[in-house]
Structure 1
Amino acid sequence: MNFLILRLGALGDIVHAVPAVAALRVAYPDARIDWLVEARHRAVVDLVTVVDRVVPLEGRSVAAWLASARVMRQVRYDVALDFQGLMKSAVLARLSGATRVIGFSIWHLREKAARPFYSETEVPPVDEGESHVIQKNLRLLATVGVRDEAVRFPLGATESAALAIVQAEAAGPFALLNPGAAWPNKRWPASRFGDVAAFLREVRGLPSFVLWGPGEESVAQEVVNGSSGAARLAPPTGLADLLALVRAAALMVSGDTGPLHIATAAGTPTVALFGPTDPARNGPWAAQDVSVSRYGACGCHYERRCRQANWCLHGLSVPEVTAAIQHRLAGIRHG
């Protein structure tokens, strides 16, 4: 059997598709499994050990789509599984030439115009309520005879110069703080992250390192400046560095963004801060991890920017977050 996975982006969504791909590998150990992903997100799929080949989508142009189609058509795929649910991904799945093109039911599609491009779709449970996106992805596998609820993240070992730097500076256990996010609506104030860093040093004995991505260094520096010397700027990181760092960290505190989902996939103790998105659908799935949420009070669900007079995350206090940290780390000794 030859399978093609389509989950083009973004980072967190790709991570949430990994358990389904892992379950597919368990059910079909001798199958070929390839993954079509946007080139800018390829680094995370390269870490997934059960994938045979990564097919990068190099751009948004018709020429880029056709180039990817030519690469995909080098293999006769029996099944293309679209975990994206967009018109774009559905068209690319059809362009792959796969015998069966499978997607979510029309009720679960992000863009309902994708439906005509599928040869078949999942049949959702009659009694289904809102569930985590990982469970939604796993259910899609029923279309190929796989019913597996186990959540696995087969991510390969990585080497990281950034981790070596952090470990040398920390000289012991450390925490990671991630104040950035692509959506402004998801960014808890940097000054409050600084207060959390001070708490972690004074109460838990943990130095904090502040993660940052492209365009986020100034925000990370603001956290450092407001931490009373308890936090340091993390070195520049790629995906392999990030995975190595979270695997070694004693704690990760982050909003709903890619690095949070990498941390939860690695099993790092996590405190997640949610505003416009629902932690029941997008948050950490491990029972031990803690989500502090304002989703119920948010008037801008799944919107990049707040349109309300009172921003939901502004009402999320430092004491609430530090209490969540104490709860998550209860019984864990550091040092």
Structure 2
Amino acid sequence: MARQSVWAKLQSQGVEEGQPYAVLHPAALYPSKQWRARGFAEIGEYLEQEFSLRPVYVCAAGEEETLRKIERWSGHSILRAEGWPIRELVALTAGARVFVGNDSGPAHIAAAARIPVVAIFGSSHAAVWKPWKAVEAAVVQNYFDCNPCAGDRCSVYEEPRCILSLTTEQVKVCLDAVLRSSTPSHRPAGFRRRDDDGKGTATAGS
């Protein structure tokens, strides 16, 4: 069973069976969709300190460097789920208390598993690509006139400011909303509609 395999792997890293945890997915195909490693390290610490959730970082094969960066920022080893089979990734995600990750496939797996999701968006159209089925869903995104775009490169700035402008505090605000809320909501916390195209922003206190 995938669930048994997941717990065996977690226990091998020091997690007790049944101990609550969060799943974090810090990788992405394009830089415009990948939030900084330092931010994920800080969110992992926040989840553990404020909610007593062990952060488990997931990535596909070939994305290990992202986890190494997070470890350097954390100053200690982290719980890893690297290149796990899809069945185990689904089982791991379904058993999590919350998912935090970039705009990518694992966020939609989490939504389908009906767990709270905090999705971090950069270049994509969040109103179109946000997780739709999550019990609690929060989108973290800052509005830029050039958004949305293809995302493979930034043609306006020297760096993808859309994703790099997001702060740890913004993500914490959305985490608080989905973890402390007692009323299920499919509306992204902090996502403010600007126009009929669904452009918006999620900022601390918005």
Q: TM-score, normalised by structure 2?
A: 0.76
Q: Distance in 2 between matches of 1:301 and 1:295?
A: 12
Q: Distance in 2 between matches of 1:231 and 1:289?
A: 25
The answer to whether 1:264 aligns with 2:108 is: no
C-alpha displacement of 1:323: 1.1
The answer to whether 1:312 aligns with 2:156 is: no
The answer to whether 1:194 aligns with 2:44 is: no
Q: 5+ unaligned residues in a row in structure 1: which ranges? A: 1-156
Q: Distance in 2 between matches of 1:313 and 1:212?
A: 19
Q: Which has the higher contact order (CA 8 A, sep 6+)?
A: 2
Partner of 2:178: 328
Q: Distance in 2 between matches of 1:320 and 1:230?
A: 25
Distance 1:297 1:210, change over 3 A: farther
CA contact (8 A) 2:122 2:142 kept: yes
Decide which of 67, 80, 91 is 1:244's aligned counterpart: 91
Percent of residue pairs bearing the same amino acid type: 28
Distance 1:289 1:299, change over 3 A: closer
Three-state SS of the structure 1 residue aligned to 2:154 is: coil
The answer to whether 1:290 aligns with 2:138 is: yes
The answer to whether 1:303 aligns with 2:151 is: yes
What CA RMSD, in Å, does the superposition of the two structures yield over aligned residues? 2.2
Provide Cα deviations, 1:279-327, integer angstroms capped at 9, x if missing partner.
Answer: 2111111362111112545445232222232511111000000111011
C-alpha displacement of 1:207: 1.4
Provide Cα deviations, 1:133-180, integer angstroms capped at 9, x if missing partner.
Answer: xxxxxxxxxxxxxxxxxxxxxxxx845623432256322100111011
Higher helix share: 1
Aligned ranges for residues 120-269 of structure 1 at < 5 Å? 158-159=2-3, 161-166=5-10, 169-171=14-16, 172-229=19-76, 231-269=78-116
Distance 1:306 1:287, change over 3 A: farther
Q: Distance in 2 between matches of 1:251 and 1:182?
A: 22
Worse-superposed segment, 313-322 or 279-288: 279-288
The answer to whether 1:277 aligns with 2:127 is: no
- Structure 2 counterpart of 1:191, one-letter code: R
Three-state SS of the structure 2 residue aligned to 1:307 is: coil
Q: Distance in 2 between matches of 1:163 and 1:307?
A: 44
Aligned residues: 176
Partner of 1:46: none
CA contact (8 A) 1:283 1:291 kept: yes
- Structure 2 counterpart of 1:292, one-letter code: V
CA contact (8 A) 2:120 2:139 kept: yes
Structure showing greater Rg: 1
Q: 5+ unaligned residues in a row in structure 2: which ranges? A: 183-206
